[in-house]
């Protein structure tokens, strides 16, 4: 996919499932929502296993725009994290859907969403990241910090502590709020220049944070 010429009508499909983390999916959606003010051809939508309401983290319920059966066209597919990823790692329907996506469709994730790609073996020999800061349960020793759990799930992956990791087709982002950086980075992968992206960040009053996090990347040279 070109990184210099914007792809007309770039479409981001965001997977929602039971107990998906709200910020993980809402942040990249929000970036695209604001970016559409500058280029209405951009699109973001929610996709689920079935076309029915989905209760995500903390009881927040959303209605997906598409189901797997609808097979919507998209340029990037994003899996958020959240408690629900523990079940989604073993969701055969999701795995089949991911494998059915065309090779030019980017596979992306925020936080523990990368566990699913790891469970599928898609991160073997590739760099990937996950949340690095423990919650109280993880800090107590009763559980693993997600990035350490990723190392167990995908022992052949190259674990990176960067906020955004671009391994070519697969792009992973670290913790919960890194969904913002994933949204901005996908605009870059779609071919938008820095002035466009910086304008989106400015409108969102996120310019300083964008400038700070922009260098926290691990990118495989695709040339």
Q: What is the pLDDT of residue 121?
A: 98
User: So what's the pLDDT on residue 1?
Assistant: 42
Residues present in the chain in total: 223
Q: Hey, what CATH topology would domain 11-214 get?
A: Rossmann fold (3.40.50)
Read off the pTM.
0.95
> Could you give the CA distance from residue 179 to residue 165 in angstroms, rounded to a whole number?
12
> pLDDT tens digits for 182-196?
999 999 999 999 999
Q: What is the domain partition of the chain in residue ranges?
A: 11-214
Residue-wise pLDDT tens digits, 104-125: 999 999 999 999 999 999 999 9
Distance CA 35, CA 148 (A): 34
Measured CA to CA, the distance from residue 112 to residue 18 in angstroms comes to: 14
pLDDT at position 4 is: 58
Q: How far is CA 19 from CA 24, 53, 57, 221, in A?
A: 11, 12, 4, 35
């Amino acid at each position: 996919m070109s990184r210099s010429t914007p792809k007309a009508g770039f479409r981001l499909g965001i997977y929602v499932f039971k107990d998906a983390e709200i910020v993980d999916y809402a942040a990249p959606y929000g970036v695209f929502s604001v970016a559409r003010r500058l280029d209405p051809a951009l699109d973001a939508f929610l996709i689920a296993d079935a076309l029915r309401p989905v209760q995500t983290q903390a009881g927040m319920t959303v209605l997906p725009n598409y189901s797997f059966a609808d097979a919507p066209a998209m340029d990037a597919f994003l899996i958020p994290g959240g408690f629900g990823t523990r079940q989604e790692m073993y969701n055969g329907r999701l795995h089949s859907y991911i494998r059915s996506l065309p090779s030019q469709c980017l596979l992306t994730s925020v936080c523990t969403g990368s566990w699913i790609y790891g469970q599928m073996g898609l991160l073997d020999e590739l760099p990937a990241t996950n949340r690095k800061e423990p919650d109280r349960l993880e800090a107590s020793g009763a559980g693993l910090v997600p990035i350490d759990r990723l190392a167990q799930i995908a022992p052949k992956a190259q674990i990176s502590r960067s906020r955004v990791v671009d391994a070519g087709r697969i792009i992973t982002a670290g913790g919960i709020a890194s969904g913002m950086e994933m949204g901005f980075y996908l605009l870059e992968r779609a071919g938008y220049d820095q002035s466009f992206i910086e304008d989106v960040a400015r409108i969102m009053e996120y310019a300083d944070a964008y400038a700070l996090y922009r260098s926290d990347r691990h990118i495989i040279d695709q040339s």
